[in-house]
Amino acid sequence: MDRPIADKPLSALLADADHSADRVSIAAEIAPAGSYQRRAPLLLDLAAVAPELQEQLRSYFDNASHDYPARYVARLDAAVIAGQGAVLTAGAHLIHESVAEFVNHGLVPDGFVMKDGGLSLAKPVTRRVEGPALLLKRPWYKNFGHWLVDNATILALLPSLPLPRGYRIIHGDVQQPAMRAIVASIFERLAPGVPLVLHGDDEALLCEQLFYVTPLHVPPLFKLPLGLEMLRQRFQPAAAVSPTGSRLFITRRGSTFRNVENEDQLAALCQRYGFEVIMPETMSFAEQVARFAGAEAVIGVKGAALTNIIFCPSSCAVMVLSPADFIDPFYWDIASQRQIAYAEVFGTVTTARATGLNDFIVPVEKVQHALETMLPKP
């Protein structure tokens, strides 16, 4: 494919009179169009946040309801996969939804280069996948939180997907040992016996018959409720899910970025309120589900481990601690669509790293005020 590649939404590809060159069709609708309501935050402490970012934050939290279009499984013949799940049709169109996290921010998707004013594959096709295959690879798939909402939710919906007999699953090659073990345990439970094809981010893979699910998570503010609900159902029966009233403080000790520098003070305060300090990344996935499923309250720095609030009961309360430059509403969307009480306290940035990676400080009195607001009164 030497000519420049243009990205195009799947709906536009299907609507084109000449879309036959792309060899794409809808195999099935897996979730109808719908909407969901979000619970307003119980508390937002924005004092440390710059005024222009406060305005953007408030625009996120004003989204009390969310309408979304239907989600589909598309079938593509002779499609190419590159980078972090970018899908290139037989007609040399890049499916926009598969690279939106890059192109929406003016970035070149992994697996591609700019050439002659347009995108081109960085490397030629080196491998072919025969027969039907389901793509289970999305941007940032190596991150636990993104993997849960982007990929595990698709696995949870497998029984409703019209996949041919003998299909395989194409997945990214996760190298980090703890994450690799979690991914393997989720596959074992949700897709037992289905063969995997590991796809490296630096190779282009030609697929004879590819099944592509339109994203169940679209940043910054959409996660398909059905996907999250089915993921809860698939895992909670295997865990002790009766609420136990436990209170969890998630530590980031050992992390090389986004640390709250006065964590010891905050942890000591929370322990006086009955919180237990835990490190989810040292637990199996089943253990993480069980701990969060029995939680009355959860506190932690904005990070992947907090994605486990998917499994919290709706009676739970969640407090997120964030550096003042990191205003992603990822966790509010998970909590609020399930009507979980949500508080977020932003702290003063103390380092000069890229946005979202900075260490920070949160005054103890702010966390104490939030605790007294979110916890049940004696």
Transcribe 215-268 into DSSP letters.
PSB-SSS-B-HHHHHHHHHHHGGGS--S---EEEEE--TT-SSS-BTTHHHHHH
| Banded model confidence at residue 117, pLDDT cuts 50, 70, 90 | confident
Interatomic CA distance for residues 264 and 270, integer angstroms: 10
Transcribe 114-159 into DSSP letters.
EETTEEEESS-EEEEEEEEEEEE--TTTTSHHHHIIIIIHHHHTGG
| Banded model confidence at residue 245, pLDDT cuts 50, 70, 90 | confident
Residue 105 is classified by DSSP as T
CA atoms in the 13 A half-sphere facing the CB of 373: 18
Q: What is the pLDDT of residues 23-82, one digit of tens each?
A: 999 999 999 999 999 999 999 999 999 999 999 999 999 999 999 999 999 999 999 999
Q: What is the pLDDT of residues 318-373, one digit of tens each?
A: 999 999 999 999 999 999 999 999 999 999 999 999 999 999 999 999 999 999 99
Burial 111-127 (b: 16+ CB within 10 A, else e): bbeeeeeebebbeeeee
Q: What is the pLDDT of residues 179-231, one digit of tens each?
A: 999 999 999 999 999 999 999 999 999 999 999 999 999 999 999 999 999 99
CA proximity to 290, closest of 300, 299, 280: 280
CB atoms within 10 A of CB 270: 21
Structure tokens at 194: 């289905």
Q: Any residues with CB less than 8 A from the CB of 239 and at least 6 apart, and which? A: 286, 289, 290, 293, 311
Q: What CATH architecture applies to the domain 37-66+240-374?
A: 3-Layer(aba) Sandwich (3.40)
Looking at residues 108-133, what average pLDDT do you find? 92
Identify the three-state secondary structure at position 11. helix
| Banded model confidence at residue 268, pLDDT cuts 50, 70, 90 | very high
Q: What is the pLDDT of residues 148-167, one digit of tens each?
A: 999 999 999 999 999 999 99
CA atoms in the 13 A half-sphere facing the CB of 87: 35
Break the chain into its structural domains and give their ranges: 6-27+72-235, 37-66+240-374
* Cα dihedral value 55, 60, 64, 69, nearest 10: 140
Structure tokens at 137: 């690879």
Average pLDDT, the chain: 93
Packed helices 285-293 and 177-190: angle between N→C axes, nearest 10 degrees: 80
